[in-house]
Chain A
Amino acid sequence: MWHFIFSRTAVSILFCLIIGLAALLAPWLSPKDPLAADLSCRLAAPCAQFPLGADQLGRCVLSRILWGLRLSLGGALAASGLAVGAGTLLGIGAALAKGWVGILLRAVIDMGLSMPGLILAIVFAGLAPGTMQGLILGLAAANWPWWARLIRGLALSAAQKEFVIAARAAGLKPSRIVLAYILPQFKNPLLAGASLKTGRIILAFAGLSYLGLGPPPPAPELGRMLQEAGIYMARAPWLVFAPGISITLVVAALNVAGKIFQGEFYDA
Protein backbone atom coordinates (compact mmCIF):
# COMPACT_ATOMS: atom_id res chain seq x y z
CA MET A 1 0.00 0.00 0.00
CA TRP A 2 2.65 2.54 1.07
CA HIS A 3 4.72 1.37 -1.81
CA PHE A 4 1.94 2.33 -4.22
CA ILE A 5 1.30 5.72 -2.60
CA PHE A 6 4.91 6.79 -3.08
CA SER A 7 5.24 5.23 -6.53
CA ARG A 8 5.65 7.29 -9.67
CA THR A 9 2.32 6.03 -10.99
CA ALA A 10 0.34 7.28 -8.02
CA VAL A 11 2.10 10.65 -7.98
CA SER A 12 1.54 11.31 -11.67
CA ILE A 13 -2.11 10.16 -11.57
CA LEU A 14 -2.72 12.38 -8.55
CA PHE A 15 -1.04 15.27 -10.30
CA CYS A 16 -3.13 14.81 -13.46
CA LEU A 17 -6.28 14.67 -11.28
CA ILE A 18 -5.36 17.90 -9.47
CA ILE A 19 -4.76 19.74 -12.74
CA GLY A 20 -7.95 18.35 -14.26
CA LEU A 21 -9.94 19.41 -11.20
CA ALA A 22 -8.35 22.88 -11.18
CA ALA A 23 -9.37 23.34 -14.80
CA LEU A 24 -12.84 21.93 -14.24
CA LEU A 25 -13.49 24.03 -11.13
CA ALA A 26 -11.94 27.24 -12.50
CA PRO A 27 -15.21 29.21 -12.17
CA TRP A 28 -15.26 28.50 -8.43
CA LEU A 29 -11.52 28.40 -7.69
CA SER A 30 -10.43 31.59 -9.41
CA PRO A 31 -10.32 34.53 -6.99
CA LYS A 32 -11.44 37.12 -9.58
CA ASP A 33 -13.15 37.46 -12.92
CA PRO A 34 -10.46 36.62 -15.55
CA LEU A 35 -11.74 39.42 -17.83
CA ALA A 36 -12.26 42.14 -15.21
CA ALA A 37 -9.73 44.91 -15.95
CA ASP A 38 -8.58 47.34 -13.28
CA LEU A 39 -6.15 49.86 -14.74
CA SER A 40 -5.11 51.16 -11.32
CA CYS A 41 -3.43 47.79 -10.66
CA ARG A 42 -1.58 47.64 -14.00
CA LEU A 43 1.41 45.26 -13.92
CA ALA A 44 1.09 44.81 -10.14
CA ALA A 45 3.70 42.47 -8.67
CA PRO A 46 2.47 39.30 -6.91
CA CYS A 47 0.81 40.31 -3.64
CA ALA A 48 -2.07 39.26 -1.37
CA GLN A 49 -4.67 40.72 -3.70
CA PHE A 50 -3.12 39.25 -6.88
CA PRO A 51 -1.33 35.99 -5.93
CA LEU A 52 0.44 35.78 -9.30
CA GLY A 53 0.43 39.47 -10.12
CA ALA A 54 -1.71 41.47 -12.53
CA ASP A 55 -1.26 41.91 -16.29
CA GLN A 56 -1.04 44.99 -18.53
CA LEU A 57 -4.77 45.70 -18.04
CA GLY A 58 -4.77 44.93 -14.32
CA ARG A 59 -6.41 41.51 -14.69
CA CYS A 60 -5.67 38.78 -12.14
CA VAL A 61 -3.07 36.39 -13.63
CA LEU A 62 -3.99 33.47 -11.35
CA SER A 63 -7.64 33.58 -12.45
CA ARG A 64 -6.60 33.90 -16.08
CA ILE A 65 -4.32 30.87 -15.78
CA LEU A 66 -7.03 28.73 -14.18
CA TRP A 67 -9.48 29.66 -16.95
CA GLY A 68 -6.69 29.28 -19.51
CA LEU A 69 -6.02 25.71 -18.34
CA ARG A 70 -9.71 25.03 -18.89
CA LEU A 71 -9.46 26.31 -22.47
CA SER A 72 -6.21 24.46 -23.22
CA LEU A 73 -7.24 21.15 -21.69
CA GLY A 74 -10.73 21.28 -23.18
CA GLY A 75 -9.44 22.21 -26.62
CA ALA A 76 -6.63 19.66 -26.51
CA LEU A 77 -8.96 16.86 -25.41
CA ALA A 78 -11.44 17.73 -28.16
CA ALA A 79 -8.69 17.81 -30.80
CA SER A 80 -7.18 14.60 -29.45
CA GLY A 81 -10.56 12.85 -29.52
CA LEU A 82 -11.24 13.94 -33.10
CA ALA A 83 -7.75 12.84 -34.20
CA VAL A 84 -8.04 9.44 -32.49
CA GLY A 85 -11.48 8.88 -34.01
CA ALA A 86 -10.51 9.81 -37.55
CA GLY A 87 -7.16 8.04 -37.28
CA THR A 88 -8.72 4.82 -35.99
CA LEU A 89 -11.36 4.72 -38.73
CA LEU A 90 -8.89 5.40 -41.53
CA GLY A 91 -6.18 3.19 -40.05
CA ILE A 92 -8.44 0.16 -39.67
CA GLY A 93 -9.91 0.82 -43.08
CA ALA A 94 -6.48 1.01 -44.70
CA ALA A 95 -5.36 -2.18 -42.99
CA LEU A 96 -8.41 -4.32 -43.66
CA ALA A 97 -9.99 -2.99 -46.87
CA LYS A 98 -8.99 -4.88 -49.98
CA GLY A 99 -8.21 -3.68 -53.48
CA TRP A 100 -8.46 -0.05 -54.54
CA VAL A 101 -10.13 1.20 -51.37
CA GLY A 102 -7.21 0.03 -49.25
CA ILE A 103 -4.63 1.57 -51.60
CA LEU A 104 -6.53 4.86 -51.73
CA LEU A 105 -6.85 5.02 -47.93
CA ARG A 106 -3.11 4.35 -47.62
CA ALA A 107 -2.40 7.18 -50.06
CA VAL A 108 -4.62 9.52 -48.01
CA ILE A 109 -2.66 8.63 -44.87
CA ASP A 110 0.63 9.19 -46.70
CA MET A 111 -0.61 12.60 -47.83
CA GLY A 112 -1.19 13.55 -44.21
CA LEU A 113 2.23 12.22 -43.26
CA SER A 114 4.02 14.15 -46.00
CA MET A 115 3.76 17.40 -44.06
CA PRO A 116 5.05 18.47 -40.66
CA GLY A 117 2.04 18.47 -38.30
CA LEU A 118 2.27 22.17 -37.51
CA ILE A 119 1.91 23.11 -41.19
CA LEU A 120 -1.27 21.06 -41.46
CA ALA A 121 -2.48 22.71 -38.26
CA ILE A 122 -1.83 26.22 -39.59
CA VAL A 123 -3.59 25.48 -42.90
CA PHE A 124 -6.68 24.03 -41.24
CA ALA A 125 -6.78 26.59 -38.45
CA GLY A 126 -6.71 29.28 -41.16
CA LEU A 127 -10.11 28.12 -42.42
CA ALA A 128 -11.68 29.78 -39.39
CA PRO A 129 -8.85 32.07 -38.26
CA GLY A 130 -8.91 33.45 -34.76
CA THR A 131 -11.48 31.04 -33.33
CA MET A 132 -11.42 28.14 -30.92
CA GLN A 133 -13.13 25.84 -33.45
CA GLY A 134 -10.52 26.62 -36.10
CA LEU A 135 -7.69 25.82 -33.71
CA ILE A 136 -9.26 22.52 -32.60
CA LEU A 137 -9.87 21.53 -36.22
CA GLY A 138 -6.27 22.41 -37.08
CA LEU A 139 -4.81 20.38 -34.23
CA ALA A 140 -7.02 17.40 -35.05
CA ALA A 141 -5.92 17.65 -38.70
CA ALA A 142 -2.29 17.74 -37.60
CA ASN A 143 -2.56 14.59 -35.53
CA TRP A 144 -4.83 12.12 -37.30
CA PRO A 145 -2.12 10.90 -39.76
CA TRP A 146 0.07 9.81 -36.86
CA TRP A 147 -2.83 7.89 -35.34
CA ALA A 148 -3.85 6.39 -38.66
CA ARG A 149 -0.34 5.06 -39.23
CA LEU A 150 -0.12 3.66 -35.69
CA ILE A 151 -3.56 2.00 -35.87
CA ARG A 152 -2.88 0.64 -39.34
CA GLY A 153 0.27 -1.08 -38.10
CA LEU A 154 -1.51 -2.40 -35.02
CA ALA A 155 -4.50 -3.60 -37.04
CA LEU A 156 -2.26 -5.41 -39.53
CA SER A 157 -0.60 -7.39 -36.75
CA ALA A 158 -3.85 -7.78 -34.78
CA ALA A 159 -5.58 -9.32 -37.80
CA GLN A 160 -2.87 -12.01 -37.91
CA LYS A 161 -3.64 -13.28 -34.40
CA GLU A 162 -5.01 -16.81 -34.29
CA PHE A 163 -8.23 -15.97 -32.46
CA VAL A 164 -9.05 -13.35 -35.10
CA ILE A 165 -8.45 -15.86 -37.89
CA ALA A 166 -10.60 -18.33 -35.96
CA ALA A 167 -13.37 -15.73 -35.66
CA ARG A 168 -13.16 -15.10 -39.38
CA ALA A 169 -13.29 -18.82 -40.09
CA ALA A 170 -16.36 -19.07 -37.84
CA GLY A 171 -18.06 -16.70 -40.28
CA LEU A 172 -18.59 -13.69 -37.99
CA LYS A 173 -19.55 -10.39 -39.59
CA PRO A 174 -16.56 -8.07 -40.35
CA SER A 175 -18.03 -5.31 -38.17
CA ARG A 176 -18.22 -7.69 -35.21
CA ILE A 177 -14.65 -8.89 -35.77
CA VAL A 178 -13.39 -5.29 -35.75
CA LEU A 179 -15.39 -4.25 -32.68
CA ALA A 180 -15.05 -7.32 -30.48
CA TYR A 181 -11.76 -8.88 -31.57
CA ILE A 182 -9.48 -6.20 -33.05
CA LEU A 183 -10.26 -2.92 -31.25
CA PRO A 184 -9.81 -4.31 -27.70
CA GLN A 185 -6.21 -5.20 -28.56
CA PHE A 186 -5.39 -1.51 -28.96
CA LYS A 187 -6.16 -0.45 -25.38
CA ASN A 188 -2.63 0.04 -24.04
CA PRO A 189 -1.04 1.71 -27.07
CA LEU A 190 -4.10 3.95 -27.32
CA LEU A 191 -3.85 5.08 -23.68
CA ALA A 192 -0.11 5.68 -23.91
CA GLY A 193 -0.35 7.47 -27.24
CA ALA A 194 -3.32 9.54 -26.12
CA SER A 195 -1.61 10.97 -23.06
CA LEU A 196 1.67 11.64 -24.88
CA LYS A 197 -0.09 13.19 -27.86
CA THR A 198 -2.45 15.28 -25.73
CA GLY A 199 0.63 16.80 -24.11
CA ARG A 200 2.07 17.58 -27.54
CA ILE A 201 -1.27 19.08 -28.59
CA ILE A 202 -1.32 21.36 -25.56
CA LEU A 203 2.13 22.64 -26.58
CA ALA A 204 0.97 23.19 -30.17
CA PHE A 205 -2.24 24.84 -28.91
CA ALA A 206 -0.20 27.40 -26.99
CA GLY A 207 2.20 27.86 -29.90
CA LEU A 208 -0.50 28.48 -32.48
CA SER A 209 -2.38 30.91 -30.29
CA TYR A 210 0.95 32.64 -29.72
CA LEU A 211 0.94 33.19 -33.49
CA GLY A 212 -2.60 34.57 -33.28
CA LEU A 213 -4.59 31.59 -34.57
CA GLY A 214 -6.44 30.83 -31.34
CA PRO A 215 -9.46 32.32 -29.57
CA PRO A 216 -9.50 36.15 -29.93
CA PRO A 217 -7.90 38.54 -27.39
CA PRO A 218 -9.93 38.95 -24.25
CA ALA A 219 -10.02 35.15 -23.88
CA PRO A 220 -7.58 33.93 -21.19
CA GLU A 221 -5.50 31.68 -23.44
CA LEU A 222 -2.04 30.73 -22.14
CA GLY A 223 -0.14 31.15 -25.42
CA ARG A 224 -1.84 34.47 -26.12
CA MET A 225 -1.04 35.62 -22.57
CA LEU A 226 2.65 34.87 -23.23
CA GLN A 227 2.51 36.79 -26.48
CA GLU A 228 0.96 39.85 -24.81
CA ALA A 229 3.39 39.67 -21.88
CA GLY A 230 6.44 39.73 -24.18
CA ILE A 231 6.65 43.52 -24.34
CA TYR A 232 6.46 43.91 -20.55
CA MET A 233 9.09 41.24 -19.94
CA ALA A 234 11.68 43.59 -18.46
CA ARG A 235 9.20 45.31 -16.09
CA ALA A 236 6.94 42.43 -15.15
CA PRO A 237 8.67 39.08 -15.71
CA TRP A 238 6.06 37.21 -13.61
CA LEU A 239 3.65 37.65 -16.52
CA VAL A 240 5.97 35.42 -18.57
CA PHE A 241 6.82 32.93 -15.80
CA ALA A 242 3.39 31.81 -14.65
CA PRO A 243 1.71 30.73 -17.92
CA GLY A 244 4.85 28.95 -19.15
CA ILE A 245 5.37 27.07 -15.91
CA SER A 246 1.75 25.96 -15.80
CA ILE A 247 1.90 24.62 -19.38
CA THR A 248 5.14 22.81 -18.54
CA LEU A 249 3.62 21.18 -15.44
CA VAL A 250 0.53 19.96 -17.30
CA VAL A 251 2.51 18.54 -20.21
CA ALA A 252 5.10 16.94 -17.90
CA ALA A 253 2.31 15.19 -15.96
CA LEU A 254 0.76 13.88 -19.18
CA ASN A 255 4.15 12.74 -20.50
CA VAL A 256 4.97 10.81 -17.33
CA ALA A 257 1.51 9.21 -17.35
CA GLY A 258 2.02 8.23 -21.00
CA LYS A 259 5.40 6.68 -20.23
CA ILE A 260 3.82 4.66 -17.44
CA PHE A 261 1.10 3.35 -19.76
CA GLN A 262 3.88 2.46 -22.15
CA GLY A 263 5.56 0.64 -19.28
CA GLU A 264 9.03 1.76 -20.17
CA PHE A 265 9.75 4.77 -18.00
CA TYR A 266 12.76 2.98 -16.65
CA ASP A 267 13.98 -0.17 -18.27
CA ALA A 268 15.39 -1.70 -15.11
Chain B
Amino acid sequence: MMVPDWIKRLAYTGFVLWGVSLCTFILFALSPGDPAEIILSAQSQAPGREQIEALRHTLALDRHWTVQYLFWMGRICSGDFGQSWQTGRPIFQEILLCLKPTLELALAAFLMVLVLSGASGMLSAVFRHKSVDYLVAVLTVVSSAMPPFWLGIMLVWSVSLGLGLLPVGGQGSAAHVILPGFSLALGLGLLQGSMLRSALIRTMEADFIGFARTRGLSTMKIFFRHILPHALVPMISLWGVCLGQLLGGAMIVESVFARPGLGRLMVQAVMARDIPMVQALVLFICLIFVGVNALTDFIHWRLDPQMRAFL
Protein backbone atom coordinates (compact mmCIF):
# COMPACT_ATOMS: atom_id res chain seq x y z
CA MET B 1 0.00 0.00 0.00
CA MET B 2 1.39 3.41 -0.90
CA VAL B 3 0.78 6.11 1.67
CA PRO B 4 1.97 9.55 0.53
CA ASP B 5 4.84 10.99 2.56
CA TRP B 6 2.94 14.03 3.73
CA ILE B 7 0.19 11.88 5.29
CA LYS B 8 2.78 9.84 7.19
CA ARG B 9 4.36 13.04 8.37
CA LEU B 10 1.03 14.54 9.41
CA ALA B 11 0.15 11.41 11.38
CA TYR B 12 3.53 11.41 13.09
CA THR B 13 3.16 15.10 13.97
CA GLY B 14 -0.27 14.43 15.44
CA PHE B 15 1.19 11.60 17.50
CA VAL B 16 3.99 13.88 18.77
CA LEU B 17 1.52 16.63 19.75
CA TRP B 18 -0.66 14.11 21.57
CA GLY B 19 2.41 12.85 23.43
CA VAL B 20 3.27 16.40 24.45
CA SER B 21 -0.20 16.95 25.88
CA LEU B 22 -0.09 13.65 27.78
CA CYS B 23 3.35 14.41 29.23
CA THR B 24 2.35 17.93 30.35
CA PHE B 25 -0.76 16.54 31.97
CA ILE B 26 1.06 13.77 33.84
CA LEU B 27 3.71 16.24 34.95
CA PHE B 28 1.17 18.53 36.56
CA ALA B 29 -1.15 15.84 37.86
CA LEU B 30 1.61 14.02 39.70
CA SER B 31 3.54 17.03 41.00
CA PRO B 32 2.96 18.21 44.57
CA GLY B 33 0.60 21.14 45.22
CA ASP B 34 -3.19 21.04 45.13
CA PRO B 35 -4.68 23.37 42.45
CA ALA B 36 -7.94 23.71 44.40
CA GLU B 37 -6.07 24.94 47.45
CA ILE B 38 -3.99 27.38 45.38
CA ILE B 39 -7.09 28.81 43.67
CA LEU B 40 -8.97 29.27 46.96
CA SER B 41 -5.96 30.74 48.79
CA ALA B 42 -5.71 33.36 46.06
CA GLN B 43 -9.35 34.32 46.66
CA SER B 44 -9.60 34.24 50.47
CA GLN B 45 -7.22 34.11 53.38
CA ALA B 46 -7.65 30.58 54.72
CA PRO B 47 -10.02 28.27 52.81
CA GLY B 48 -11.86 25.65 54.86
CA ARG B 49 -11.57 21.91 54.40
CA GLU B 50 -15.12 21.53 52.92
CA GLN B 51 -14.57 24.43 50.53
CA ILE B 52 -11.46 22.76 49.11
CA GLU B 53 -13.22 19.39 48.84
CA ALA B 54 -16.18 20.99 47.06
CA LEU B 55 -13.95 22.73 44.54
CA ARG B 56 -11.94 19.54 44.02
CA HIS B 57 -15.19 17.81 43.17
CA THR B 58 -16.38 20.47 40.70
CA LEU B 59 -12.99 20.46 38.96
CA ALA B 60 -13.03 16.62 38.94
CA LEU B 61 -9.71 16.68 40.80
CA ASP B 62 -10.90 13.86 43.06
CA ARG B 63 -10.94 11.43 40.13
CA HIS B 64 -7.95 9.42 39.02
CA TRP B 65 -5.71 11.40 36.65
CA THR B 66 -6.38 9.05 33.73
CA VAL B 67 -10.10 9.86 33.98
CA GLN B 68 -9.30 13.58 34.17
CA TYR B 69 -7.13 13.29 31.08
CA LEU B 70 -9.80 11.40 29.13
CA PHE B 71 -12.37 14.08 30.06
CA TRP B 72 -9.99 16.76 28.83
CA MET B 73 -9.24 14.88 25.59
CA GLY B 74 -12.94 14.45 24.94
CA ARG B 75 -13.61 18.14 25.35
CA ILE B 76 -10.64 19.15 23.16
CA CYS B 77 -11.84 16.82 20.41
CA SER B 78 -15.18 18.58 20.39
CA GLY B 79 -13.37 21.92 20.11
CA ASP B 80 -13.95 23.09 23.69
CA PHE B 81 -10.88 24.25 25.57
CA GLY B 82 -12.87 24.76 28.76
CA GLN B 83 -12.59 27.56 31.30
CA SER B 84 -9.58 28.88 33.14
CA TRP B 85 -9.54 27.69 36.77
CA GLN B 86 -8.12 31.04 37.84
CA THR B 87 -10.47 33.48 36.21
CA GLY B 88 -13.36 31.29 35.04
CA ARG B 89 -13.25 32.86 31.60
CA PRO B 90 -13.15 30.73 28.41
CA ILE B 91 -9.56 29.72 27.69
CA PHE B 92 -9.81 30.05 23.93
CA GLN B 93 -10.76 33.73 24.19
CA GLU B 94 -8.05 34.54 26.71
CA ILE B 95 -5.40 32.94 24.54
CA LEU B 96 -6.58 34.74 21.41
CA LEU B 97 -6.53 38.02 23.33
CA CYS B 98 -2.93 37.50 24.49
CA LEU B 99 -1.76 35.88 21.27
CA LYS B 100 -2.01 39.10 19.28
CA PRO B 101 0.62 41.22 21.12
CA THR B 102 3.08 38.31 21.30
CA LEU B 103 2.65 37.31 17.66
CA GLU B 104 2.93 40.96 16.61
CA LEU B 105 6.19 41.31 18.51
CA ALA B 106 7.63 38.02 17.25
CA LEU B 107 6.80 38.84 13.63
CA ALA B 108 8.22 42.37 13.90
CA ALA B 109 11.38 40.93 15.41
CA PHE B 110 11.48 38.30 12.66
CA LEU B 111 11.40 40.97 9.95
CA MET B 112 14.19 42.82 11.74
CA VAL B 113 16.22 39.59 11.94
CA LEU B 114 15.83 39.16 8.17
CA VAL B 115 16.99 42.70 7.47
CA LEU B 116 19.81 42.66 10.04
CA SER B 117 21.18 39.28 9.02
CA GLY B 118 20.94 40.11 5.31
CA ALA B 119 22.68 43.46 5.69
CA SER B 120 25.40 42.33 8.11
CA GLY B 121 26.06 39.05 6.27
CA MET B 122 26.37 40.68 2.85
CA LEU B 123 28.50 43.57 4.13
CA SER B 124 30.94 41.36 5.97
CA ALA B 125 31.21 38.86 3.11
CA VAL B 126 31.80 41.51 0.46
CA PHE B 127 34.27 43.46 2.61
CA ARG B 128 35.86 40.31 4.02
CA HIS B 129 38.92 40.99 6.21
CA LYS B 130 38.31 44.74 5.96
CA SER B 131 37.47 46.94 8.92
CA VAL B 132 33.70 46.64 8.30
CA ASP B 133 33.99 42.87 8.63
CA TYR B 134 35.87 43.10 11.93
CA LEU B 135 33.44 45.69 13.28
CA VAL B 136 30.48 43.41 12.48
CA ALA B 137 32.29 40.46 14.08
CA VAL B 138 32.86 42.36 17.33
CA LEU B 139 29.27 43.63 17.34
CA THR B 140 28.05 40.07 16.82
CA VAL B 141 30.02 38.70 19.78
CA VAL B 142 28.81 41.48 22.07
CA SER B 143 25.16 41.61 21.00
CA SER B 144 24.61 37.86 20.98
CA ALA B 145 25.89 37.73 24.56
CA MET B 146 23.47 40.39 25.82
CA PRO B 147 20.25 39.26 27.48
CA PRO B 148 17.55 40.60 25.10
CA PHE B 149 15.46 41.87 28.01
CA TRP B 150 18.44 43.85 29.33
CA LEU B 151 18.97 45.38 25.90
CA GLY B 152 15.27 46.31 26.09
CA ILE B 153 15.75 48.03 29.46
CA MET B 154 18.79 49.88 28.13
CA LEU B 155 16.86 51.00 25.04
CA VAL B 156 14.03 52.30 27.22
CA TRP B 157 16.57 54.16 29.33
CA SER B 158 18.41 55.73 26.41
CA VAL B 159 15.81 56.16 23.65
CA SER B 160 12.54 56.60 25.55
CA LEU B 161 13.67 58.30 28.75
CA GLY B 162 16.84 59.96 27.43
CA LEU B 163 15.77 61.15 24.00
CA GLY B 164 12.02 61.00 24.56
CA LEU B 165 11.51 59.37 21.15
CA LEU B 166 9.58 56.11 21.37
CA PRO B 167 6.96 54.93 23.90
CA VAL B 168 8.25 53.30 27.10
CA GLY B 169 5.80 50.43 26.94
CA GLY B 170 2.32 49.26 26.08
CA GLN B 171 0.98 48.32 22.69
CA GLY B 172 -1.22 49.51 19.89
CA SER B 173 0.76 51.31 17.21
CA ALA B 174 3.78 50.40 15.10
CA ALA B 175 5.95 52.66 17.26
CA HIS B 176 5.27 50.35 20.21
CA VAL B 177 6.93 47.35 18.56
CA ILE B 178 10.14 49.05 17.42
CA LEU B 179 12.07 48.92 20.70
CA PRO B 180 10.98 45.45 21.90
CA GLY B 181 11.36 44.06 18.40
CA PHE B 182 14.84 45.46 18.02
CA SER B 183 16.00 44.22 21.42
CA LEU B 184 14.82 40.72 20.50
CA ALA B 185 16.24 40.81 16.99
CA LEU B 186 19.70 42.34 17.36
CA GLY B 187 21.67 39.40 18.76
CA LEU B 188 19.90 36.73 16.74
CA GLY B 189 20.03 38.81 13.55
CA LEU B 190 23.78 39.40 13.71
CA LEU B 191 24.36 35.73 14.59
CA GLN B 192 22.38 34.66 11.52
CA GLY B 193 24.35 37.27 9.57
CA SER B 194 27.58 35.46 10.39
CA MET B 195 26.03 32.24 9.03
CA LEU B 196 25.05 34.06 5.86
CA ARG B 197 28.61 35.41 5.64
CA SER B 198 30.15 31.94 5.62
CA ALA B 199 27.52 30.66 3.16
CA LEU B 200 28.28 33.58 0.83
CA ILE B 201 32.04 33.08 1.10
CA ARG B 202 31.68 29.36 0.38
CA THR B 203 29.61 30.17 -2.71
CA MET B 204 32.04 32.85 -3.91
CA GLU B 205 34.75 30.19 -4.06
CA ALA B 206 32.61 27.69 -5.97
CA ASP B 207 33.57 26.73 -9.53
CA PHE B 208 30.41 28.04 -11.15
CA ILE B 209 31.16 31.54 -9.86
CA GLY B 210 34.64 31.38 -11.37
CA PHE B 211 33.00 30.34 -14.61
CA ALA B 212 30.57 33.27 -14.43
CA ARG B 213 33.53 35.57 -13.94
CA THR B 214 35.38 34.19 -16.98
CA ARG B 215 32.23 34.72 -18.99
CA GLY B 216 32.74 38.40 -18.24
CA LEU B 217 29.55 39.05 -16.26
CA SER B 218 29.53 42.20 -14.17
CA THR B 219 30.40 41.90 -10.47
CA MET B 220 26.97 43.17 -9.42
CA LYS B 221 25.19 40.66 -11.62
CA ILE B 222 27.34 37.79 -10.37
CA PHE B 223 26.64 38.73 -6.75
CA PHE B 224 22.89 39.28 -6.96
CA ARG B 225 21.99 36.72 -9.62
CA HIS B 226 24.36 33.86 -8.83
CA ILE B 227 25.96 34.10 -5.38
CA LEU B 228 23.14 35.48 -3.21
CA PRO B 229 20.29 33.14 -4.24
CA HIS B 230 22.58 30.14 -3.84
CA ALA B 231 23.70 31.20 -0.34
CA LEU B 232 20.15 32.05 0.78
CA VAL B 233 18.82 28.49 0.40
CA PRO B 234 20.50 27.03 3.52
CA MET B 235 19.47 30.17 5.46
CA ILE B 236 15.77 29.38 5.07
CA SER B 237 15.65 26.58 7.63
CA LEU B 238 17.75 28.68 10.03
CA TRP B 239 15.28 31.54 9.74
CA GLY B 240 12.39 29.15 10.33
CA VAL B 241 13.90 27.86 13.56
CA CYS B 242 14.58 31.41 14.67
CA LEU B 243 10.88 32.31 14.45
CA GLY B 244 10.22 29.76 17.19
CA GLN B 245 13.03 31.12 19.33
CA LEU B 246 11.62 34.62 18.89
CA LEU B 247 8.23 33.41 20.10
CA GLY B 248 9.86 32.17 23.32
CA GLY B 249 12.07 35.23 23.69
CA ALA B 250 9.10 37.55 23.14
CA MET B 251 7.53 36.15 26.31
CA ILE B 252 10.33 37.65 28.41
CA VAL B 253 10.88 40.88 26.49
CA GLU B 254 7.20 41.77 26.47
CA SER B 255 7.23 41.96 30.25
CA VAL B 256 9.93 44.68 30.08
CA PHE B 257 7.64 46.74 27.87
CA ALA B 258 4.48 45.91 29.84
CA ARG B 259 2.82 44.21 26.88
CA PRO B 260 -0.01 41.90 28.00
CA GLY B 261 1.02 38.81 26.01
CA LEU B 262 1.36 35.05 26.18
CA GLY B 263 4.38 35.20 28.50
CA ARG B 264 2.45 36.72 31.39
CA LEU B 265 -0.48 34.37 30.78
CA MET B 266 1.82 31.33 30.74
CA VAL B 267 3.77 32.24 33.87
CA GLN B 268 0.59 33.04 35.80
CA ALA B 269 -1.07 29.81 34.68
CA VAL B 270 1.96 27.70 35.60
CA MET B 271 2.35 29.36 39.01
CA ALA B 272 -1.36 28.89 39.83
CA ARG B 273 -1.48 25.27 38.58
CA ASP B 274 -4.19 26.27 36.12
CA ILE B 275 -3.88 22.91 34.31
CA PRO B 276 -6.42 23.42 31.49
CA MET B 277 -4.85 26.77 30.67
CA VAL B 278 -1.28 25.37 30.67
CA GLN B 279 -2.40 22.44 28.50
CA ALA B 280 -4.09 24.69 25.99
CA LEU B 281 -1.15 27.12 25.86
CA VAL B 282 1.40 24.35 25.36
CA LEU B 283 -0.72 22.81 22.61
CA PHE B 284 -1.22 26.16 20.89
CA ILE B 285 2.44 27.11 20.93
CA CYS B 286 3.48 23.62 19.77
CA LEU B 287 1.06 23.88 16.85
CA ILE B 288 2.50 27.24 15.78
CA PHE B 289 6.06 26.00 16.21
CA VAL B 290 5.53 22.72 14.36
CA GLY B 291 3.55 24.49 11.64
CA VAL B 292 6.32 27.02 11.01
CA ASN B 293 8.93 24.27 10.90
CA ALA B 294 6.90 22.27 8.40
CA LEU B 295 6.42 25.37 6.26
CA THR B 296 10.14 26.15 6.16
CA ASP B 297 10.91 22.52 5.31
CA PHE B 298 8.44 22.76 2.46
CA ILE B 299 9.94 26.00 1.12
CA HIS B 300 13.43 24.54 1.43
CA TRP B 301 12.30 21.43 -0.43
CA ARG B 302 10.74 23.50 -3.22
CA LEU B 303 13.84 25.68 -3.63
CA ASP B 304 16.63 23.14 -3.28
CA PRO B 305 16.74 20.53 -6.06
CA GLN B 306 19.29 18.53 -4.05
CA MET B 307 16.79 17.99 -1.27
CA ARG B 308 14.15 16.87 -3.76
CA ALA B 309 16.57 14.25 -5.05
CA PHE B 310 16.93 12.84 -1.54
CA LEU B 311 13.25 12.19 -0.96
Contact = CB atoms under 8 A, between A and B. Distances in A.
Interface of A: 107-108, 110-111, 114-119, 122-127, 129, 199, 203, 206-208, 210-213, 223, 226, 230, 233-234, 237, 240, 243-244, 247-252, 255-256, 264, 266-267
Interface residues of B, number: 49
Contact of B144 (A206, A226, A230, A255): A255
Contact of B282 (A123, A127, A250): A123
B230 to A, nearest CB: 17
A247 B142 CA distance: 11
Contacts of B17: 114
B255 A211 contact: yes
A243 B149 CA distance: 12
Q: Which of B23, B144, B248 has the most CB of A within 10 A?
A: B248
B279 to A, nearest CB: 10
B147 A107 contact: no
Given A211-B252, A226-B150, A244-B146, A233 B157 contact: yes
A115 B20 contact: yes
A199 to B, nearest CB: 7
B161 interface: yes
Given A233-B156, A233-B157, A252 B150 contact: no
Interface of B: 12-13, 15-17, 19-20, 23-24, 27-28, 31, 137, 141-142, 144-150, 153-154, 156-157, 161, 198, 201, 244-245, 247-249, 251-252, 255-256, 263, 266-267, 270-271, 278, 282, 285-286, 289-290
A119 B31 CA distance: 18
Contact of B16 (A107, A117, A129, A212): A107
Main secondary structure, interface of A, reads: helix
Contacts of B156: 233
B149 A210 contact: yes
B15 A107 contact: yes
B285 A256 contact: no
B149 A226 contact: yes
A115 B251 CA distance: 14
21 contacts: A107-B19, A111-B19, A114-B286, A115-B282, A118-B249, A119-B251, A122-B270, A123-B24, A127-B27, A129-B270, A206-B149, A207-B149, A210-B255, A212-B267, A230-B256, A244-B146, A248-B142, A248-B147, A249-B145, A251-B144, A255-B144
Contacts of B20: 111, 114-115
A206 B146 CA distance: 11
B145 A255 contact: yes
A8 B294 CA distance: 40
